Amino acid sequence: DTGVSQDPRHKITKRGQNVTFRCDPISEHNRLYWYRQTLGQGPEFLTYFQNEAQLEKSRLLSDRFSAERPKGSFSTLEIQRTEQGDSAMYLCASSVHGGRDEQFFGPGTRLTVL
């Protein structure tokens, strides 16, 4: 069990550029979540997948944000036309459906938009 992995760990981009982040969940975890965290705040929910189906999306997820989990394994989060307000830590978590359904986080991707 290698834990949740995320790539890249850091991303610096200019305003208006598109960025894509990848998350690989713990193997056999069928639920995958994306959260965003800004300094001094707790993580805020963005979206969640069960297998390949996107089952819940936050109002925070504007039309510039899109997430996919095409084969029910890894997931990508894309932000189009980045804005300075998108600067944050983007966290991915995974869990197993049923049982205690505890969510385990990856190391995060820190995005800085200049």
Cβ neighbourhood burial of 111 (10 Å; 0-12, 13-18, 19+): buried
Of 40 and 70, nearer to other proteins (C-beta) is: 40
36 binds other proteins (CB under 8 A): no
DSSP, res 41: S
Q: Are 53 and 32 in contact (CB under 8 A)?
A: no
Mark the segment that binds other proteins (CB under 8 A) among 11-19, 22-30, 39-47, 62-70: 39-47
Tokens of 75: 């997931």
Of 68 and 107, the one with the shorter C-beta distance to other proteins is 107
Residue 106 interacts with other proteins (CB under 8 A): yes or no: yes
Is residue 42 close enough to count as binding other proteins by CB under 8 A?
yes
